Amino acid sequence: MFRTSWIDYIHGLQDRICAALEAEDGQARFHEDAWQRAEGGGGRTRVIANGAVFEKGGVNTSVVFGPVTDAMRTHLRIDGANWFACGLSLVLHPRNPFVPTVHCNYRMFELSDDAGHVTDRWFGGGTDLTPYYLFDEDARHFHGVYKDVCDRFDPAFYPNFKKACDDYFVNTHRSGERRGIGGIFYDYQRATPDKPTEFWMNFGMACGDAFIEAYGPIVARRKEMPYTDENRHWQEIRRGRYTEFNLVHDRGTLFGLKTGGRIESILMSLPPTVRFEYDHRPSPGSPEDDLLQACLHPRDWLETPLSDEERAEWARRSNSC
């Protein structure tokens, strides 16, 4: 029952997000590549490229399963006879440096014994924002949307999951430099007497449903801002940091590689163009340095809540997406 409900939701979410993003871009359309996995299951990889807004992006779903291998036990620290995973994962790399990159992932994972009985089940996911230039109002809106979702389920969720996001999406090899300005992130959430499986499934669905509300108005507000070659140069520097995290630290990437995942789907998250320049440092006090400082020192974006007028403006933009 849980598998069927979650699979149906994930596929529907993919359809709704892709439709909204195509409308926002106004030019490009998603290309779907349906694939099957020899070991069990398959997925729908949907890619958008060379659009008016989105230079590259993907909204992928997968329903995959198979036997637990020795490599999975060693590298992923899981045990059992068989595993099952279903989720949606998206990454969008806009062309305009003033529109942030965004990542979103919501998933359910199960382990079962040889007889097919589920022995463990957990949920994980999150949505995080990676701007190239910092606009406080964008950050406050984005974080505010997910705080509202979290608060409907448990007031402790947002501060805990916001911190987990700041602590996870970090290039530890660069003195604790975060990939972006975060959002929420949670993993290994199992059923308890007060929070049964239905609770975590409903929470994941609410977070997935909030994606367009959180991200769409930011795209609409920034996508027509004029930019320079220097702005693009900085964007590609920061895209390099994004690439470093995904290839060095990201557990989802490692899971896909260790389970024989489809390489085109796994590496879909990488940006189309990047720069790796030796010891690049932005000028102190510049807009580029402001972004870097926010990545080095995570902020409480909701310390000053949005005013009623600001919330109404963001809501208007959300309704138009």
Tally Cβ neighbours within 10 Å of residue 111.
17
Query: If we measure between CA atoms, which residue out of 244, 255, 217 comes closest to residue 89?
Result: 255
Tally Cβ neighbours within 10 Å of residue 212.
20
Q: Which of 31, 75, 103, 117 is catalytic?
A: 103
Q: Which tokens sit at 133?
A: 């230039």
Q: List, in sequence order, the alpha helices (H) in 27-109.
A: 70-75
* Residues near 92 by beta carbon (within 8 Å), at least 6 away in sequence: 21, 48, 54, 57, 101, 102, 215
3-state SS assignment for residue 284? coil
Per-residue b or e along 11-23, where b marks 16 or more CB atoms closer than 10 Å to that residue's CB: eebbeebbebbbe
- Is 233 part of the annotated catalytic residue set? no
Instruction: Judge contact between 263 and 104, C-beta under 8 A.
Output: no
Instruction: Judge contact between 49 and 55, C-beta under 8 A.
Output: yes
Residue 19 phi, psi dihedral angles, 5° rounding: -65, -40
**Catalytic residue list:** 103
